[in-house]
Amino acid sequence: MENQNIDRMKELVRVLTEAGRSYYQEDREIMSNYEYDRMYDELSALEKETGIVLAGSPTMQVGYESLEELPKERHDSPMLSLDKTKELQELKNFAGSHKTLVSWKLDGLTVVLTYRNGALEKAVTRGNGEIGEVITNNARVFQNIPLNIVYQGELILRGEAVITYSDFEKINEEISDVDARYKNPRNLCSGSVRQLNNRITAQRRVRFYAFSLVKADGIDFGNSRNNQFEWLKSQGFEVVEHRITDAEGMEETVHYFAEKIQHFDIPSDGLVLLYDNISYGQSLGRTAKFPRDSIAFKWKDEIAETRLLEVEWSPSRTGLINPVAVFEPVELEGTTVSRASVHNVSIVKSLALGIGDILTVYKANMIIPQIAENLTRSGNLAIPDICPACGKATRIQKMNDVETLMCTNPSCSAKKIKSFTLFVSRDALNIDGLSEATLEKFIAHGFIHTYADIFQLERYREEIISLDGFGEKSYQNLMESIHAAAHTTLSRLIYSLGIPGIGAANAKMICRSFQYDLERIRNAAPEALAEVDGIGEVLAGAVAEYFHNEENDEALELLLKELVLEQPQEENLTEQTLTGKTFVITGTVERFANRNELKAYIESKGGKVTGSVTKKTDYLINNDSASGSSKNKKAKELSIPIISEEEFLKL
């Protein structure tokens, strides 16, 4: 029996070490938090039972060495992990007759700050608990750290660097490539704090919340941690939200935080309980890994039992096909849940999923739905051998011991998500309600294969209404937008096709040059297209190649059956007073609503608007001609006239 226990401990050490290394060093997850905690607890129990702790056991390690090339520094005192529990009664027992502080356990990157003579001198990450990375320049651009404080002695404090969920979402929205977006705020924060260029850190809006005062000589805190927190606030620091309580009030306090986390903007994975009495807490000492004056409370996951209905395989633009479990709806943490990502083929296999299996599901950190266990483990789920988006063959790819499903078709419609996103964009067909995420859903479900399919979405009314985030109202709004978009102009159509190098302005120039005759454009030779102002040989070749491609030609014929091309207004054909002129617009505008409106006006008169000043620029429009902007400087270097709106209108 003892040998079996040791063998099991070896296996647990191996699996947990790999999972920890993946999570902390490589920012990838190979198992859920639920599974990690379960295995960690099993290992701890076996170590207590056997009295043996194997070398390299995660229960004896505080962290991992960083892989970044930042300067490293040893901490004056080790930064220990916290012992943890999921039981409220254990918190009550820990508090006993003592007054305690209960605060958020924030989920970011721990940082140690040092101030001397009232100025920030040094910032070091937690690292492995013994040695961290020096990130002083990055800390200086955190959103809420005071660079100077009133206290002139040596101040050392610890806190958590975090990125809020709202800032995380804004940053991800600016990344057009869905697969390049960050997975969660913790990963983004970790990378942001450890940048070699602090300009990037500043753009990420990192915030710092103090949770421990290590040193501040000469200040009488009345032997109270709470007084330390209040003093830190007086120095300009934001302190982690906390409440004072005792064993009797513990349940009410935990309930307060549990209610608040549902809409809490700062990532948190639990709570921390700390004795308010400083000397008492310090007298308790520490274990090899944990301090004895504090303990972490991990949310006890609300687990529900349900039945697996299906697994959707959702293709993405990289060719990766992601499995999503769909199960009978259950109530978790106050909301109805019916779907959970399974991440990859390896996890599908480890869970031995099969349709009809009985699952237990929970919300990681009370937010993200996850599968805890598969109670049935039938293992009868077939891994698709064809892509649901294009019907072509798939293959299983193995990298770093993780298996994923890939589409082998380079022309898969899911891989063309960028072209569909351009097609529905404001300057193209302008279809509201078809975000990139919605397009991916529709493509994954097989609703969209070509541009024309967008105008046939009414065929999938029932399926669309049943999708997450959709309902009757959303569906109706989408249909109205699609019907409106069916009436469009030739220049919008040309731009929407995504011909390499052809923007909205170039599309308008081509249409004007060919008198808005689509057939002439489709059959034009590269030489004829090259004569269009602003096109040139390269772009002309791209246009001719696009229209002479048989697949593109067939797709366009299908699309034209769905569209009504409006004739351009006569004035746009006759008053081309700016033909051949190239403009750049910078600064604020006064006579137009915005720069886009001014751009549209220029283009309506036959002109062209570009984003940068070059030798081909005829005028730079800037109401502040004396500004030191880079565009102004470039225009002056090239002797290009800088004109105001008033001067432009006189042209």
Report, as residue numbers or ranges, the catalytic residues: 105
Cβ atoms within 10 Å of 400's Cβ, excluding its own: 9
Q: Distance (Å, rounded) from C-alpha 570 to C-alpha 564?
A: 18
Packing angle of the helix pair 250-260, 88-95 (nearest 10 deg): 130
Q: Distance (Å, rounded) from C-alpha 29 to C-alpha 461?
A: 36
Per-residue DSSP letter, 611: S
125 touches 109 (CB < 8 A)? yes
> Three-class SS string for 468-532?
CCCCHHHHHHHHHHHHHHCEEEHHHHHHHCCCCCCCHHHHHHHHHHCCCCHHHHHHCCHHHHHCC
248 touches 183 (CB < 8 A)? no
CA distances from 504 to 491, 501, 509, 534 (A): 7, 10, 9, 12
Residue 639: CA atoms inside 13 Å, Cβ hemisphere, count? 0
448 touches 413 (CB < 8 A)? yes
Reference 80, options 146, 32, 126, 15; nearest CA is 126
Torsion of CA 22, 362, 307, 470, to 10 degrees: -90
* Order of all β-strands in the sheet with 155-162: 119-125, 109-116, 155-162, 207-216
CA 52 to chain centre: 42
